[in-house]
Structure 1
Amino acid sequence: MKALLFINGIPPRTFPDIQEYNLIACTDGAFHYLKENHFPLDRLDFISGDCDCFDEEEGEWQEKFVYTPDQNKTDFYKALEIIVKKGFCQVDVYGASGGEQDHYLGNLTVAYLFKDKIKITFYDEYGKYFFIPSYFEVSQIRGKMISLVPYPVATKVYTTGLNWPLYGEDLSIIGRIGTRNFAVEDTFTCSYLEGGILLFIGK
């Protein structure tokens, strides 16, 4: 089963095919752009947040609201908690980047905290990005931009299929990172010993 989640960054210019998803949700900061784009309310399962973005004229949208007032957690975090409790193992997220950059960095940290509980794939106008396991392989990738961002470190990193491959190097967020590479083969692989890697794949 796969879920779709909209959060409060820059709205997508085009929406994904909603028929691919078993559950669709948004945070209370994102429901406004769904409403403005006439998103079908009957396909929305819930809206999560602390209710600070609603007014008395929201009408039937309020019926989808799940009140999650914990100020020690972000709305993104609380929405993921609900999705995980419902038994989902995969979620596509739109609206994580853009806008206030502290929100964006916070969203990445939340994704890191959940990476062993649910597969989270972020989408924006430039491509997609997600945390990868210690061995990862993807095909049909030739010509696409590939960036590896250690989170915060990744040791003994090996890659194949890239213009500038890695042969057991260590990466660090305060040292060497692996951005703006590109795939020269159809299949790209990456392995590492310890740490975490946030992988960006351009369109």
Structure 2
Amino acid sequence: MHINVIVRDASSHIQEVFRERQDEPWAGVDHGVVLLLKAGIKPEYNYGDFDSITEEEKEYIREHMDIDPVPKEKDDTDLALCLTDLVSKGYQSINIYGATGGRMDHALGNIHLLMHEQLKKTKIKIIDRQNVISLLHQGKHEVRRQEGMKYISFLPFNGETTLSLDGFLYDLDEQLIEFGTTLTISNEFTKNIGNVHTDNDILMIQSKD
């Protein structure tokens, strides 16, 4: 099962996504619920403490659906609560929008959720206007270029990762990648499909200028 999640982001990009995916299931996190309702999409689920919206926006939500805000003081972020619940409901593919703009601590925390023990086996993508971010598990992968994306980068989550690339502008043969390296930033596909082998989980980012 697949579902889309919106956290925040009122840009023209997300309005286009809403139009393209209006018939797919959606979940809203905090202000994302407002964005969905204004786009004419009623979310299947809503999550959050709703501390980032106004009283008028809360009333707008209540006119369309029931919400049950979680306490503001809690151990996990609203998005973490959302994703762990969706995975427990059986969703195996999740696209997340509006999770990288704004505060950097939130953006990095959201990206780190890809390594969450309860989430890392789920196919999760964090998508914004310029990037598609996902996790590649240890092993061999056939990677397809995302439409409209020019660059592909790989960032290790572990202290040392051995990476092999084939089908890219800069191929690698069992190259040791450590924290802090920029060797694997801004690579490019030579065709629409490339092959990746990694001995540790690694972050993959496809992007455009």
TM over 0.5, yes or no?
yes
- Looking at structure 1, the residues matched to 21 and 126 of structure 2 have their Cα atoms a distance apart, in angstroms, of 16
Q: Secondary structure at the match of 1:82?
A: helix
In structure 1, the partner of 2:17 is 15
- Looking at structure 2, the residues matched to 9 and 19 of structure 1 have their Cα atoms a distance apart, in angstroms, of 16
Alpha carbons 1:9, 1:99 under 8 Å: kept: no
Query: Given residue 197 of structure 1, which amino acid in structure 2 is its aligned partner?
Result: I
Query: Given residue 102 of structure 1, which amino acid in structure 2 is its aligned partner?
Result: D
- Give the drift of 1:84: 1.1
Unmatched runs of 5 consecutive residues or more in structure 2: none
Cα-Cα RMSD: 2.5
- Give the drift of 1:177: 4.7
Query: Given residue 171 of structure 1, which amino acid in structure 2 is its aligned partner?
Result: I
- Looking at structure 2, the residues matched to 141 and 27 of structure 1 have their Cα atoms a distance apart, in angstroms, of 25
CA 1:99–1:184: 2 relative to 1, 3 Å? same
- Give the drift of 1:59: 3.4
Task: Describe the superposition over 1:118-145 as per-residue Cα deviations: whole angstroms up to 9, x where unpaired.
Answer: 2111111113110012222123569831
Query: Given residue 131 of structure 2, which amino acid in structure 1 is its aligned partner?
Result: G
Q: Give matches, 1:27-66, under 5 Å.
A: 27-35=29-37, 38-41=38-41, 43-52=42-51, 53=53, 55=55, 58-59=58-59, 61-62=61-62, 63-66=65-68
Query: Given residue 8 of structure 1, which amino acid in structure 2 is its aligned partner?
Result: R
- Looking at structure 2, the residues matched to 34 and 101 of structure 1 have their Cα atoms a distance apart, in angstroms, of 24
Alpha carbons 1:127, 1:201 under 8 Å: kept: yes
Alpha carbons 2:169, 2:187 under 8 Å: kept: yes
Task: Describe the superposition over 1:164-190 as per-residue Cα deviations: whole angstroms up to 9, x where unpaired.
Answer: 111111212323551101111232111
Instruction: Looking at secondary structure, tell me which structure has more strand per residue.
Output: 1
Q: Secondary structure at the match of 1:198?
A: strand
Of stretches 129-138 and 8-17 in structure 1, the one that deviates more from structure 2 is 8-17
Q: In the alignment, is residue 200 of structure 1 matched against residue 205 of structure 2?
A: yes
Q: Identity, % of aligned pairs? A: 22
Of stretches 8-17 and 95-104 in structure 1, the one that deviates more from structure 2 is 8-17
Runs in 1 of length 4+ with deviation above 4 angstroms? 140-143
TM-score (norm 1): 0.84
- Looking at structure 2, the residues matched to 10 and 132 of structure 1 have their Cα atoms a distance apart, in angstroms, of 29
Of stretches 48-57 and 163-172 in structure 1, the one that deviates more from structure 2 is 48-57
Of stretches 51-60 and 99-108 in structure 1, the one that deviates more from structure 2 is 51-60
- Give the drift of 1:19: 4.7
Aligned to 2:137, which of 113, 117, 133?
A: 133
Alpha carbons 2:136, 2:204 under 8 Å: kept: yes
- Looking at structure 1, the residues matched to 94 and 189 of structure 2 have their Cα atoms a distance apart, in angstroms, of 25
- Give the drift of 1:75: 0.6
CA 1:57–1:188: 2 relative to 1, 3 Å? closer
Unmatched runs of 5 consecutive residues or more in structure 1: none
